[in-house]
Amino acid sequence: MPVNLKTQLRQLILTEALKSVQDPGKYKVLVCDPHSMKCLFNVCTKEQRATETRQEAIYLITPTRNVIDAIINDLSGPKRMYTGAHIFSIAALPDNLFDRLKTGAAAYIKNLKELNIDFTPLKRMYSPSNIEDLDGSLEDMADQLISVFTTLGDSPVIRYFDPSGNRDSLAARAAVKIQAAIDKYRDLEPDWPPKSPYPPAQLLVLDRSVDVFSPLLHSFTYQAAVFDLLQVDLDKVEV
């Protein structure tokens, strides 16, 4: 059955985060870091309002040390910015950052939840940004794919291209990382994936050795020209 990934992600953000803590007739301040803002505004309409203090804040965050320290700074001291915080992490919150947050701001935290939505559903292909740290790039990719799988409520069967049978191809290495990420998430969430009347999806992992001609070709479309010639941010262009 076809699934609109953007619609799924929008519903998850609205129901699991924003609407879950929104009291009727009361506004809350939404606070994002640059990365979580990209995830949010890729699927939701952007509307800016003046920030008002003495309200509760909804934090949609990327779980990094700098972001956690910024939250603690917002909620500490006699002139703290917000009266309370509802914190939603777009990825798994490491134990050391959880302990740091609990120590620095536990009194003002009303909700803390992991959403696993660390991805942006764009029509682009993945390419490791740092070939010198290929394993790290593949692990980051696998973690983001876990966010996709949990959003879809599916644990796929992984099939990959490995002509030698030694798991030394790039596709095989990627598949191993993805399977390890799935197994790790299953250990944390034994009831995942939820029961479904449909068979599990199949994830096919290939590398460029399957098709050496496509990288040399270029699409003759307006979309390709826009990405080549203009500065594109989340499929949007300001001219």
User: Distance between CA atoms of 47 and 119, rounded to whole angstroms?
Assistant: 21
As for how many domains the chain has, the answer is 2
Q: How do residues 90-124 score in pLDDT, each as one tens digit?
A: 998 999 999 999 999 999 999 999 998 888 776 54
Using the 3D structure, point to which of 49, 80, 114 is the last residue of a domain: 114
pTM: 0.71
Q: Which two tokens stand for residue 172?
A: 């095989």
Verify that 37 and 108 share a domain, yes or no.
yes
Q: In terms of residue numbers, what domain contains 60?
A: 5-114
Verify that 89 and 20 share a domain, yes or no.
yes
Phi, psi of 84 (to 5 degrees): -165, 165
Verify that 36 and 97 share a domain, yes or no.
yes
What's the CATH code of the domain at 53? 3.40.50.2060
Phi, psi of 159 (to 5 degrees): -125, 140
At 10 the pLDDT is 85
Verify that 79 and 156 share a domain, yes or no.
no
Cis preceding linkage at 193, omega within 30: yes
Verify that 24 and 105 share a domain, yes or no.
yes
39/126: higher pLDDT: 39
What's the CATH code of the domain at 177? 3.40.50.1910
Q: Evaluate whether residue 238 is within a structural domain.
A: no
Q: How do residues 186-234 score in pLDDT, each as one tens digit?
A: 998 999 999 999 999 999 999 888 887 877 777 778 887 888 888 887 6
Using the 3D structure, point to which of 56, 88, 114 is the last residue of a domain: 114
Q: How do residues 130-178 score in pLDDT, each as one tens digit?
A: 556 788 889 989 999 999 999 889 999 999 999 998 998 999 999 999 9
The gap between the terminal CA atoms of the chain, to the nearest Å, is 38
Verify that 82 and 12 share a domain, yes or no.
yes
Q: Evaluate whether residue 109 is within a structural domain.
A: yes
pLDDT class of 19 with cuts at 50, 70, 90: confident
Q: Evaluate whether residue 84 is within a structural domain.
A: yes
